[in-house]
A = this chain, B = another copy of it.
Amino acid sequence: MESTFTINGRIWLEKDGEKVLGHGRVELLERIHNSGSIRQAALQMKMSYKQAWDIIKHMNTHFSSPVVIPQRGGKGGGSALVTENGLNIISEFHQLQEKLKKFLEVNSVNIAY
């Protein structure tokens, strides 16, 4: 009898030992960027608006400059914009993800216990 396993992994950004950015938060940022709305992004990811808003508040205060600028009232009731800084962070994280993917591929060979 033989069993094979795969190695998987995750990376994230920390500040003072606290998680600030990871897989899920990047996806949230991307969906806000595409929809222009925190609420729509949250709906797409099946999370509550509160949860999404808490995350954004946390990120906005932990990066040197905000990653999302929300605006309430006005056309469509309001909107949310991902900043240049936010877009850079998304891009940087994707590059790291790519590197991790390669790392996992290289080390995933022939593991059977």
Binding site for B on A (CB under 8 A): 1-15, 20-21, 62-65, 85, 88-89, 92, 96, 99-100, 103-104, 107, 111-113
Contacts and interface: CB of A to CB of B under 8 A. Distances in A.
A7 B7 CA distance: 19
Given A64-B112, A111-B92, A14 B20 contact: no
B5 A14 contact: yes
A13 B3 CA distance: 12
Contacts of A7: 11-14, 96
A10 B13 contact: no
A13 B6 contact: yes
A61 to B, nearest CB: 11
Nearest to A13: B5
B63 A113 contact: yes
Contacts of A4: 15
A15 to B, nearest CB: 5
Given A88-B113, A92-B113, 17 more contacts: A3-B63, A3-B64, A5-B15, A6-B14, A7-B11, A7-B13, A7-B14, A10-B10, A11-B104, A13-B111, A64-B112, A64-B113, A65-B113, A85-B113, A92-B111, A96-B107, A103-B103
